[in-house]
Amino acid sequence: MPSDLEKAMETLIMVFHRYADTEGSKASLNRKELKQLMETELSSFLKTQKDPAAIDRIMKDLDSNGDGEVNFEEFVSLVVGLSIACEQLFQKQKQSAGVKKH
Amino acid sequence: MPSDLEKAMETLIMVFHRYADTEGSKASLNRKELKQLMETELSSFLKTQKDPAAIDRIMKDLDSNGDGEVNFEEFVSLVVGLSIACEQLFQKQKQSAGVKKH
């Protein structure tokens, strides 16, 4: 039976390939695939991005090898950044909840 | 309703805190907590590590700020490394499965 952590890692791979496999190279997300992934999987994050060119900016930020596509390693760096930001928020909420109790 | 990707990111945070919160600093894993996490959440990976001092080596590798503990950012780098390795394996299996079909 896979552990919670193993299931989460498997989900990262499955979600990436759910979009990367739709067209072109199955090993990377082109712009359209990245847009679909973000609109479906990260819609709340995307809504916080006021910049209408957010997708293009994120694509450029992620595409560290400059091939115009986002491979799994580049995609995971987005997940890492978002997870770290969420965990810091989680810590702050825990601390402020702890302060209210005293 | 959170998406699959949001649930996976939430799981990374929940799993980290399931162990980090047991003793000492709630913002990081000490050696005992990292050992418990790995034995429970990454047991199959740990079994591939022949080195009896694997936990200490992994702890040293992850502890990039050298404070003797593993914070969330350092923990996520382990998850990234393992996910990338798994995804490459997944790609190879897909390619070899594709070759057999032709």
State the Cα torsion B35-B68-A88-A95 to the nearest 10°. Answer: 90
Alpha-carbon span B98 to A102, nearest angstrom: 61
Total tally of structural domains belonging to chain A: 1
Select from A8, A15, A43 the Cβ nearest to the Cβ of B11: A8
CATH code of residue B39: 1.10.238.10
Contact A93/B at CB under 8 A: no
Among A1, A3, A4, A5, which would you mutate to test the B interface (most chain B Cβ atoms within 10 Å of its Cβ)? A5
User: How much is the average pLDDT of A28-32?
Assistant: 96
User: Structural domain of residue A33, as residue ranges?
Assistant: 4-101
pLDDT per position as a tens digit, A50-69: 888 999 999 999 999 999 99
User: How much is the average pLDDT of B57-79?
Assistant: 94
Is residue B29 classed as helix, strand or coil in its secondary structure? strand
| pLDDT band at residue A101 using 50, 70 and 90 as cut-offs | low
How many other CB atoms sit within 10 Å of the CB of residue A69? 20
CB-based burial, B15-24: b 16+ in 10 Å, e otherwise: bbbbbbeeee
How many other CB atoms sit within 10 Å of the CB of residue A33? 21
Provide the token pair at A77.
């760096």
pLDDT of B66 > 80? The answer is yes
For tokens 């040293």, the residue is B60
Alpha-carbon span B63 to A59, nearest angstrom: 30
Do the chains contact at B84 and A91, CB–CB below 8 Å? no
